[in-house]
Amino acid sequence: MKEELIAYIKSELIGDDTMEMNSEDDLLTSGLIDSLAIMRFIGHIEATHEIKVAPQDMVIENFINVDAIADYIQRTKNS
Amino acid sequence: MSEDAVIESELTQSQTLIWTGQLLNPEVPLYNMALTFELNGEIDSSHFQAAFDKLVEGTDALRTTFSNKNGMPKQLVLSKINASTEFIDWAERSIDSQNLEDYLSERSQRNFDLTEVLFDSVLIKTKEDCYTWYFNQHHLITDGWSVTVLYKKMQSLYDASLNGLLEDCKALPSYSNYIAFEQKEREKFQAQSAEDNYWKVQLKHLPVAPTLYACSNTGTRSDSQRISISLGQERSDQLRKLTEAPDLRAWTQHLSLFNIFSTTLFAYLHRVSGQQELAIGTPSHNRLSAGFKETSGLFIELFPIITAITDEESFSSLFKKVQIETFDFLKHATPGAATSELSRGFNVVLNYINATFSDFNGIPMKSDWVHPNHADQAHVMRLQVHDFDDSGVISLHFDVNITVFEEELRNDIPAHFLKVLDAFIKDRTAAINATAMVEAESIVGEQKGLNYKSVVGLFEEQVKQSAQENLIDYQGGKFNFETVNQKANQLANYLTERGLKKGDRVGLYLKRTPQLIVSILATLKAGAIYVPLDTSYSGIRTTDIVEDADLSFLLTTKKLSELINYQQELNCVELDEDELAIQNQSSIYTSSALHEKDLAYIMYTSGSTGKPKGVMISHGALANYISYAAENYKTLNKISTAFFTAIGFDLTITSLFLPIVSGGTINVYEEPENGPDLSLFQVLEENKSNFIKLTPSHLVLLGDKEYPLSKLEVMIVGGEDFKLELGKSIQSKFGENLAIYNEYGPTEATVGCVVHQFDIKKDYTSSVSIGKPITNTSYSILDEVLHPVPKGVSGELYIAGAGLAEGYWNQKELTDNSFINKPFEDGSKIYKTGDLVRLNEVGDLEYLGRIDEQVKISGRRIELGEIESALNRLEGVETSIVELRSKDKTARTVAVENCKSCGLPSSYPNIEFDDNKVCNLCNTFESYQSRVEKYFKNSNDFKALFDRLPRAKDDSYDCIALLSGGKDSTYVLAKLVEMGLKVLAFTLDNGYISEQAKENIRRIVAQLDVAHEFGETPAMNEIFVDSLKTHQNVCDGCFKTIYTLSTKVALEKNIPFIVTGLSRGQFFETRLTEELFWNENADIGKIDKIILEARKSYHRVDDAVNRLLDVSAFKDDGTFEKVQFLDYFRYTDVSLDEMLSFLDKKLNWVRPTDTGRSTNCLINQAGIFIHKKEKGYSNYAFPYSWDVRLGHKTRDASLEEINEEIDEKEVARILEEIGYTEQEENTIEAQQLVAYYVSQSPVEDRLIRSHLEGLVADYMIPVQFIHLEELPISSNGKVDKLALPVPDAIRPITAVGYVAPRSDIEEILVDIWSEVLQIDKIGIYDKFLELGGSSLAAIRIITRANESFNLELPLNLAFSKPTIAAFSEYVRETIMKLLEEMHED
């Protein structure tokens, strides 16, 4: 799942498939992706993982890096 | 410009919108984006110029121009252009910053030619080591972010140039990448269906752009002023600190700040507009990828963020909502999705800019954004939030349209916004309206010192001065002041003798007579309080008042006293009976001393609880009003008033007391014994008065008549909203010399307290304003939490001053709630009027309606007054009332008439009767009767159909005969057998066929020796329920089941015909429509084809039959050829008598008696019951009317059958048995807006609707418009809302909300659908079947549409394109195709 998420970030959000990126890299506070991109990303996650990200879940902690996002998706699917 | 290689491409969606906007305003620089960069250091101008040239070379957006070929724009990227940056050296000219600013401001307003270079750059040396770089671009090629990209690039190019490395510098990424990307995304977006796409869904919920401060919600020109404020360090720090709070924190600090500003903006807009559903526009930057972040060009698109503000909204709760909306906005703001339709919902834009400019290559820089003094006029306000220079201090630019807001208001706007922002910062848990936006202010009328004289004192002065002048003129009899005074003294003496004391309440149950006037004066002289009791009141109301007021005396007459009941112990004085005793009294009386606070009268008004409440008016209040009126309502001669209005209504005080205190005459018009009170006409006819006071509803009664010779000099209009149109028409009827005053005043503030003299030339608002407070009176306009509202914003009117009532008699709590302590001044009282008002631009009060009459539809607050005003602006509409009506209220109470010719009831929709009480169906029938007759054939034609086919062999049949067991089908069966045909009789046992009917069937088939089958289905009850819900009858479902099952049998047994016994009248219910015969050249073959097509659609409609029975055969068109339906009575014309005598002689048919009715089906009456209840007429009324029209039934027989009694108990049992429960939606659908309007002739609904569309929100457009000749009026002369006629059809609740038609084609179709489906408000996305559409309705629609558009549309169009939107698109395409073909020919 994490590879898929990273691939999406690289190609769709940053537009650079060649860049180096790890699952623990900070996405938000680093400014790597902005509010528009994270919301587009959430739209993508909702569509591909068939989950609904509730507004109260839209907090930095859940989306700070790919690890946190994968964890969040797992948790949401299980609940 | 060199025309080197050119790359041509389409425009992006955002570019198209701007391009169009510029095209519409060719002379105005509304899209110029000019920035200045003040550089405080040495700049080498030649290197700067070289760097700039390199910038242009490497930025395709800067080399872009636009062409316009036949309205189709293209963008052209030129490989080279001859444009550079200018350099001006003003170092020697010692110019100051103001000179520079003026120069650049002027330069920023230069218009770009879109076919040329779209930027303008200049480097100005202002003094040694000080430069300003001015850079202006047209928005078509840039946006805020682009400017930062270009600025950064310019820096590095300048640095490279200084170091000789310019040639190595790379170009910026090409904008063409985005053009291609945007196009791809846009196509994806456009391909999405309306349900799937967020923005298409949002479009349906779009609110109207709000009216701020009662100013227009759009500009007339693009002129705009920028008002800039800095939030200051402290506030900026506080805001940044807030972004860390857990409840406000978002993905980024910028997003948190954006959310805070958008929440604040919503709260502010709500408070200055009063609107609850609001949208603001905000840009999506669309620069998702790193590549796009480095590209210059136009990327941004404006999208609406929509939210609904509730009554008790706090900043926190609003923030949460806005945050969720913002998340959704960001999630769905894909390139190319912003449309002009979406933009209609907002007129305020929030532009939160997070771009910053750094030092210029080490040189300190200060940037500024030059406002071109123009902006899109659709945006009345733009709030730009930025910190370009990264200073830590947030700045706000308010770009406000100057054609919308006046200068004073423009300058107040930032302060109002800051009040809200500071309230948010201070305590976000507080309600958004908890802080006042403006300082308290009362509007004060002329203040005169205390100069109190009671009306009694003033009267007695007149008695001395004008003793012989006539005070009363009544039916030819005249009474002068002296006489009246003597009579009043005698009565006062008499009453005192009988025990009347000061402060006692005296009820006056009298008609408008001299007696009444004398009684009032006598009561007041004695220091008692008079309580008027209108003789037209109901007995209960009068009794309530007598008891509530605790009357000690009741003055009446012998005759009237019989009409009044009360338990109260009191002195009842019958003035006529006691006349002698009164006349024997002394005519001298020393009036009681009356202090200001002593009560003069108690006037009862209807309370919201239904129990009348007594308003206590003091002598001080009465005197204050009357003195004002006497001084201001001037007539040339002595005043002569018409006393013709109700005594229990305080409007009448003026006509009564003005002559009393000023020596004039009261012309008394007694109300009639019974029947309507037409005194107003008598007043005008006799033409004795020069002063009249009345309600607008009275004025509407006057109609067209002109009164050029009228003596009236002063007219006071009060008691109701006075509309401009009415004012104009009255002024022209009576001529310019009539002074018309609009007087506003609740009883609680004594007759009139705010007055405006109507000015036909200057008044412009649709409701005539109510003006300014009278002497010693003041008012305030406050919001729900008693804060004053900013000027122009609507709020509740509070009145203070000398005219206030002393409260409600014996109702302390109610008094305390309505007469409150003035919130922001001394301890004096202020009266809460419950009226919604606002101050207009010229400082007059405008009345907007009652607050408690504000209604809500699905949570949206609706101002009925606003809709009425909008409606009244339509030419020809004199007045109107908009009401929220429920279906319960609409239950038919009017007597039903029946057409004298066919018996059709007047409750049948859209039916009209002529003067002879004959319906329009009968009347128009004559015109196409001959064509209808052509549809009918003879028995030879029938036989020929069978002769054409090989006769049935032994084991097969020629036809199926549908046999219900009734007389018609039995007759048909016998006739078919008589013809020698081999028949299979088929009966549907629906579970409710009576035993005797079944006996009939068994007996008949045995007697005729024909094969017989009973069909049945376990789904029957479900089909009944569905039929009741969809068609409000059981027959539709039953018929379809019969057709479906019998067709199946026919297919299995290879039987080519199914013969029905439908009556000719039933043809018009199920097969034919009048429309088919309208055309003079109606072709029967064509009609048959249409009927067949309708039949196919009929069998393919999704309903209970289709879900529960096997209908697969109907998917195949071949089925309709294999099995044909023949209506026997199409070929045979037989009278009822003939038929009955045939049955009697030849067959053992017995009329069933066990149904108790003329039918053989027990469930039938359940269907009739539901149909009558929900539609107001029997489902048999229409087919029977046709039977009568075609001569197959007598009117009496038809009426007898449709009026047969229904056994409601049995119906209830049956309904429960089949599992039918009344639909709950009815209670929701009940709440719908109905407009009643008065005009000379009815106006087409379509015209009214399109008129309203521009003026009010979609959801405020009434469902129905009912034309009235005049409005019903109560005894007080006000509109009697309870007496308004009940509306007809109510729009059903459909899956989607109402969306109005957008084009001419759609409008025509909406009209057709509405007429056919008998629903008044059809939205373009409403589905045909949900609206109750049937195949017959489809025929009607297609026939009418074909006529309107001169086309031949396929019949199934209403099914295959089941919405107006889809249907009209098909029509449009068909027309286009035809046009193209014409061109080709």
The alpha-carbon gap from B1266 to the nearest alpha carbon of chain A, in Å, equals 47
The enclosing H or E element of B399 equals strand B395-401
CB contact under 8 A, A36 and B292: no
Residues B44 and B91 in one domain: yes
CB contact under 8 A, A36 and B332: no
Quick check: B953 pLDDT over 80? no
Is B186 domain-assigned? no
CB contact under 8 A, B249 and A13: no
Residues B826 and B877 in one domain: no
CA-wise closest residue to B487 among B620, B369, B598, B583: B583
Least confident span in B589-593, B610-614, B1047-1051: B610-614
Residue B134: give its domain's CATH number: 3.30.559.10
Nearest by CB: A37 against B288, B327, B332: B288
Percent of chain A with pLDDT over 90: 32
CB contact under 8 A, A35 and B323: no
Contacts of B320 in chain A (CB under 8 A): 55
Residues B774 and B641 in one domain: yes
pLDDT score for B861: 62
Residues B1283 and B1261 in one domain: yes
Residues B238, A19 contacting (CB under 8 angstroms): no
pLDDT score for B868: 85
Q: What is the DSSP string of B465-494?
A: HTTTSEEEEETTEEEEHHHHHHHHHHHHHH
Is B926 domain-assigned? no
Q: In terms of CA atoms, which chain B residue is nearest residue A62?
A: B251
Least confident span in B37-41, B200-204, B468-472: B200-204
CB contact under 8 A, A12 and B333: no
Domain boundary among B826, B852, B878: B852
Amino acid at B477: G
238-267 of B, contacting A, C-beta below 8 A = 249-252, 254-255
pLDDT score for B1231: 61
Considering only CB atoms, which residues of chain A are within 8 Å of chain B? 12-16, 28, 31, 34-40, 42-43, 55, 58-60, 63
CB contact under 8 A, B289 and A34: no
Domain boundary among B1161, B1187, B1214: B1161
Q: Is B388 helix (H, G, I), strand (E, B) or coil?
A: coil
Query: Quick one: pLDDT band at residue B1304, thresholds 50, 70, 90?
Result: confident
Residues B841 and B875 in one domain: no
pLDDT, tens digit, for every residue of B1077-1136? 877 777 888 888 888 888 888 888 778 888 888 888 888 888 998 999 999 999 988 887
Amino acid at B964: S
Is B1203 domain-assigned? no
CB contact under 8 A, A35 and B255: yes
Contacts of B174 in chain A (CB under 8 A): none
Residues B45 and B147 in one domain: yes
CA-wise closest residue to B150 among B1346, B1161, B158: B158
Contacts of B255 in chain A (CB under 8 A): 35
Percent of chain B with pLDDT over 70: 95
SS (H, E, C) B1150-1188: CCCCCCCCCCCECCHHHHHHHHHHHHCCCCCHHHHHHHH
Rounded Cα gap, residues B1161 and B1182, in angstroms: 19
Rounded Cα gap, residues B573 and B518, in angstroms: 14
Q: In terms of CA atoms, which chain A residue is nearest residue B334?
A: A40
Domains of chain A: 2-78 (1.10.1200.10)
Angle at CA of residue B1027, ends B1026 and B1030, nearest 5°? 85
Q: What mean pLDDT is predicted for residues B488-494? A: 97
Q: Is B602 helix (H, G, I), strand (E, B) or coil?
A: strand
Residues B794 and B650 in one domain: yes
Rounded Cα gap, residues B575 and B647, in angstroms: 18
Residues B1044 and B1027 in one domain: yes
Instruction: Kindly report the backbone phi and psi dihedral angles of residue B1311, in degrees, each rounded to the nearest multiple of 5, phi listed first.
Output: -60, -45
Residues B37, B133 contacting (CB under 8 angstroms): yes
Query: Quick one: pLDDT band at residue B121, thresholds 50, 70, 90?
Result: very high
Q: What mean pLDDT is predicted for residues B145-159? A: 95
Range of the domain at B246: 213-426
Percent of chain B with pLDDT over 90: 50
- Alpha-carbon dihedral sign for residues B710, B714, B716, B722: positive
Q: What mean pLDDT is predicted for residues B709-726? A: 92
Query: Quick one: pLDDT band at residue B450, thresholds 50, 70, 90?
Result: low
Q: In terms of CA atoms, which chain B residue is nearest residue A8?
A: B289
Query: Quick one: pLDDT band at residue B1156, thresholds 50, 70, 90?
Result: low
Q: Which two tokens stand for residue B1321?
A: 């408000």
Quick check: B1157 pLDDT over 70? no
Residue B1022: give its domain's CATH number: 3.40.50.620
Contacts of A55 in chain B (CB under 8 A): 320, 323-324, 327
Pairing, β B477-480 against β B470-474: antiparallel
Q: Which residues of B627-644 are buried (b: 16+ CB within 10 A; e: fewer)?
A: bbbbeebebeeebbbbbb
The alpha-carbon gap from B265 to the nearest alpha carbon of chain A, in Å, equals 20
Quick check: B609 pLDDT over 80? no
Angle at CA of residue B870, ends B867 and B872, nearest 5°? 110
Residues in chain B, total: 1385
Q: What mean pLDDT is predicted for residues B762-781? A: 91
CB contact under 8 A, A35 and B290: no
Residues B866 and B817 in one domain: no
Residues B879, B1238 contacting (CB under 8 angstroms): yes
Which neighbouring-strand residues pair with B577? none
Is B895 domain-assigned? no
Question: Chain A to chain B, count of Cβ pairs less than 8 Å apart?
Answer: 54
Is B77 domain-assigned? yes
Is B917 domain-assigned? no
Residues B902, B723 contacting (CB under 8 angstroms): no
Residues B279 and B257 in one domain: yes
More confident residue, B953 or A71: A71
pLDDT, tens digit, for every residue of B1249-1303? 888 876 776 677 887 888 888 888 877 778 887 778 777 555 554 545 667 788 8
Residues B1156 and B1238 in one domain: no
Query: Quick one: pLDDT band at residue B1227, thresholds 50, 70, 90?
Result: very low
Residues B344, B379 contacting (CB under 8 angstroms): no
- Confirm or reject contact between B180 and chain A (CB < 8 A): no
Residue B402: give its domain's CATH number: 3.30.559.30
pLDDT, tens digit, for every residue of B303-355? 999 999 988 899 999 999 999 999 999 999 989 898 888 888 899 999 999 88
Q: What is the DSSP string of B649-681?
A: STTHHHHHHHHHHHT-EEEE-PPPSSS---HHH
pLDDT score for B37: 95
The alpha-carbon gap from B244 to the nearest alpha carbon of chain A, in Å, equals 12
Is B896 domain-assigned? no
Q: Which two tokens stand for residue B995?
A: 């035993």
319-358 of B, contacting A, C-beta below 8 A = 320, 323-324, 327, 330-333
Rounded Cα gap, residues B290 and A14, in angstroms: 5
Contacts of B284 in chain A (CB under 8 A): 36
Residues 6+ apart with CB under 8 A from B869: B723, B765, B766, B767
Residues in chain A, total: 79
Q: What's the count of helices (H) and strands (E) in chain A, helices before strands?
A: 4, 0
Rounded Cα gap, residues B286 and B293, in angstroms: 9
Least confident span in B30-39, B232-241, B1017-1026, B1335-1344: B1335-1344
Q: Which two tokens stand for residue B632?
A: 């201001």
Most B CBs within 10 Å, among A28, A34, A56, A59, to test the B interface: A34
pLDDT, tens digit, for every residue of B537-577? 767 778 889 999 999 999 999 999 988 888 888 999 999 99
Contacts of B291 in chain A (CB under 8 A): 15-16
Q: In terms of CA atoms, which chain B residue is nearest residue A36?
A: B330
Is B193 domain-assigned? no
Q: In terms of CA atoms, which chain A residue is nearest residue B283?
A: A36
Nearest by CB: B285 against A12, A36, A55: A36
| Cα–Cα distances in angstroms (integers) from residue B1263 to residues B1266, B1288, B1314, B1319, B1329, in the given order | 10, 10, 11, 9, 19
pTM over 0.80: no
Contacts of B333 in chain A (CB under 8 A): 36
Nearest by CB: B288 against A13, A28, A60: A13
CB contact under 8 A, A42 and B251: no
Nearest by CB: B330 against A12, A15, A39: A39
Q: Which two tokens stand for residue B1334?
A: 């049937």
Domain total of chain B: 5
Q: In terms of CA atoms, which chain A residue is nearest residue B325?
A: A55
pLDDT score for B164: 93
ipTM exceeds 0.85: yes
Which neighbouring-strand residues pair with B480? B470
Contacts of B292 in chain A (CB under 8 A): 15
CB contact under 8 A, B324 and A55: yes
Contacts of B289 in chain A (CB under 8 A): 12-16
Residue B803: give its domain's CATH number: 3.40.50.12780
CB contact under 8 A, A36 and B252: no
The alpha-carbon gap from A79 to the nearest alpha carbon of chain B, in Å, equals 22
277-306 of B, contacting A, C-beta below 8 A = 284-286, 288-292
Residues B464 and B411 in one domain: no
Amino acid at B773: P
Q: In terms of CA atoms, which chain B residue is nearest residue A37?
A: B288
pLDDT score for B913: 82
pLDDT score for B785: 80
Contacts of A38 in chain B (CB under 8 A): 251
Q: Which two tokens stand for residue B538?
A: 């109901």
